[in-house]
Structure 1
Amino acid sequence: MKIGLFSSKKYDKVVFHQINSGQHEITYHPVRLNKDTVKLASGFEAICCFVNDEIDASVIASLSNMNVKLLALRCAGFNNVDLPAAKANNLPICRVPEYSPHAVAEHTCALILDLNRNIHRAHNRIRENDYSLDGLLGFDLHGKTVGVIGAGKIGRAFIKIMLGFGCNIQVCDPDYAQPDNPKIKKGDLDDVLQNSNIISLHCPLVPSTHHMINQAAIDKMKPGVMLINTSRGGLVDTSAVIRALKNKKIGHLGLDVYEEESEMFFEDFSDTFIQDDVFARLQTFPNVTITGHQAFFTKEALEKIARTTLTNIEHFQRGEFDKVHFVST
């Protein structure tokens, strides 16, 4: 099958070439798919996209007019796709439902440890021969309550890690079965907001979860709470979080995603400056750690993404539709 792969990086080429073994003809486009670049999709049977490609109604209509047979997402989320438009144009969409929940869960834990023990600040001090400890005071994770919003595979993997630190867990997820463990309590969103020392987001971005962490939600949190988001940027109202950082209602913030990340993340802007004033303000806080959507970025996850994506395409090509991980439109 002829595949046009957008938003490709060097590591994408390496792993897809390795897994593909010449079975499909893959052309790698480093640019994001959007209304300005969709013309590059001409001549391909399948188009492969990633999290920040802009697959709106106009792009889908163009893909349909080009007789693209399949839109293959090499990610789990599909909030960047206009699903009604895909249905109207009879364009099937598949995805990678999961790749490595451990990768994201472990990165979430890394953000917590970095923020709590001020690892990034200590590292910078040591490089300048400053070995003082003032301003680096942390707290024991043992005995603290960690709120987990969303207990799918990633959320459950994260819960296991935090239980290992001796934490108590407060879970908000209607589909999560209450385990026989006194350290885990299931409740609603208010329970998590009001009772947690650390809150970690592990839910998808859908209309009902957009800006779920807003001013009203922040007002219910404990003073000095640590907030972590390794899920989707749109879950958090960034302006409200900045206000909470300024008045110290939020004591630590760890982000691997940002609601306006599509214009920045996965690209190198080291020779210029950031145009996003909100993001620039976030970077001024010493108690904020930001990574550029890298929580998924492990060898195991990349291999699983490539293998599942190509397997989806292979099953689709063979007409084995029951084996394809379709997105319901």
Structure 2
Amino acid sequence: MNIAFFSAQKYEKPFFEHSIATHNSLAITYFEQSLNEQTAVLASNYNAVCVFVNDTVNAQVIKLLASQGINTILLRCAGFNNVDLDAAKTHNIHVLRVPAYSPEAVAEHCIALMLTLSRKTHKAYNRVREDNFDLNGLLGFNLHNKTVGIIGCGKIGLALCNILNGFGANVLVCDPNAIPGNYSITDLNTLLTQSDIISLHCPLNDQTYHLIDEHAFAKMKPGVMLINTSRGALLDSKACIQALKTQKLGYLGLDVYEQESELFFKNHSDEINQDDIFSRLVGFKNVLITGHQGFFTQEALTEIANTTITNALEVEQGKPLTNSVFKN
């Protein structure tokens, strides 16, 4: 199997090369370009494409891939909202993902965002470097005894619950598939109205698009903290800006952004940012944004590479496809 690897980053290659080293039947060609209608031609003479969260795998792209003999789409991520599954079925293309690379990596990043926002350590770091040891403006709050609402309680949500229990937080969970645990299962309305901190961990689909909008903000406590490390479009960015302006939203931590495909994973430091909404968000002093970094640990990258290579081998060898998205 020859694999066209799109949106390749230099930090990924060592992990994939190590994973593929003992499998002579597989070969990877790395392309820095993201997959879309214009770049799909690069996949000619390959059997499979390997894509990430911001690659475009819509019906048109899938048609182009199929015309070139591609029979497999390997997602090196858990989510598959960027793939037109109906089109993949129509063209008999396998779609496989990495369902759980490291739930703890993302959950720990959530905690990092929460603590940085609540204790203002990023601001303290800059002050101390300038010999400014004034504590005014750095007043924070404890996570202990705070009510934290988690929307979506899959593996990442469960990992976050476990960490928050260690802090002594009161954890609420909203998930139709939630099982009993060290948290209280409740409905979305109750979670929105009672939580001091809200963290999003649900998949992006038609039902969850803009789940957090102006109506959701209206139900929240004044000064609430919102964390999103899942998918950017769960959050209505314009409604979020309005909530920040009225101080309904007291703290915002984002590792994802609705239009991130044009921004994240690239160095734009010498360019003028053309995204007015993102510029407005990052301009608030109580907003902390990281560039889809939540997954970025050694352990997670190792698991992503190993699982992706295993997925490719299962297709090549005609074995049952453990991580096919069509099982969901």
TM-score (norm 2): 0.97
Matched letter for residue 2 of structure 2? K
2:322 to 312, 321, 324: 324
Deviations 1:120-169 (A, max 9, x none): 11111112221111111101111110000001000000001011011001
**Partners of 2:92 and 2:134 in 1: CA distance:** 63
Matched-pair contact (CA < 8 Å) for 1:214–1:241: yes
Deviates more, 1:111-120 or 1:13-22: 13-22
Percent identical pairs in the alignment equals 54
Superposition deviation, residue 274 in structure 1:
1.1
Quick check: 1:58 aligned with 2:60?
yes
**Partners of 2:278 and 2:155 in 1: CA distance:** 29
Secondary structure class of the residue paired with 1:211: coil
Secondary structure class of the residue paired with 2:221: coil
Quick check: 1:266 aligned with 2:243?
no
**Partners of 1:201 and 1:101 in 2: CA distance:** 14
Runs of 4+ residues over 3 Å off in structure 1: none
Deviates more, 1:170-179 or 1:195-204: 170-179
Superposed, 1:14-25 pairs within 5 Å as 14-21=14-21, 23=24, 24-25=26-27
Matched-pair contact (CA < 8 Å) for 1:57–1:82: yes
**Hey, what does 2:290 align to over in structure 1?**
291
Secondary structure class of the residue paired with 2:29: strand
Matched-pair contact (CA < 8 Å) for 2:103–2:155: yes
**Hey, what does 1:236 align to over in structure 2?**
235
**Hey, what does 1:97 align to over in structure 2?**
99
Matched-pair contact (CA < 8 Å) for 2:71–2:92: no
Superposed, 1:74-113 pairs within 5 Å as 74-113=76-115
Matched letter for residue 103 of structure 2? P
Matched letter for residue 114 of structure 2? I
**Hey, what does 1:314 align to over in structure 2?**
313
Superposition deviation, residue 324 in structure 1:
3.2
Superposition deviation, residue 12 in structure 1:
1.2
Secondary structure class of the residue paired with 1:222: coil
**Hey, what does 1:131 align to over in structure 2?**
133
**Partners of 1:324 and 1:41 in 2: CA distance:** 25
Secondary structure class of the residue paired with 1:138: coil
Matched letter for residue 30 of structure 2? Y
**Partners of 1:43 and 1:126 in 2: CA distance:** 56
**Hey, what does 2:8 align to over in structure 1?**
8
Quick check: 1:206 aligned with 2:205?
yes
**Partners of 2:149 and 2:186 in 1: CA distance:** 10
When the two chains are superposed, the root-mean-square deviation of aligned CA atoms in Å is 1.0
Superposition deviation, residue 323 in structure 1:
3.8
Secondary structure class of the residue paired with 2:77: coil
**Partners of 1:247 and 1:256 in 2: CA distance:** 23
**Partners of 1:30 and 1:106 in 2: CA distance:** 29
**Partners of 1:177 and 1:99 in 2: CA distance:** 21
**Partners of 1:304 and 1:262 in 2: CA distance:** 23
Superposition deviation, residue 319 in structure 1:
0.4
Matched-pair contact (CA < 8 Å) for 2:148–2:196: yes
Secondary structure class of the residue paired with 1:59: helix
Deviations 1:299-321 (A, max 9, x none): 0100100000000110110100x
**Partners of 1:178 and 1:256 in 2: CA distance:** 28
Matched letter for residue 326 of structure 1? S
Q: Return 5+ residue gaps in structure 1 as ranges.
A: none
TM-score (norm 1): 0.97
**Partners of 1:323 and 1:280 in 2: CA distance:** 43
**Partners of 2:116 and 2:273 in 1: CA distance:** 24
Deviations 1:32-83 (A, max 9, x none): 0000111100000111000000111111000000011111111100011111
Deviations 1:222-278 (A, max 9, x none): 000000000000100011011000110000000000000000100001111211000
Superposition deviation, residue 174 in structure 1:
1.3
Q: Return 5+ residue gaps in structure 2 as ranges.
A: none
**Partners of 2:142 and 2:100 in 1: CA distance:** 32
**Hey, what does 1:256 align to over in structure 2?**
255
**Partners of 1:74 and 1:327 in 2: CA distance:** 12
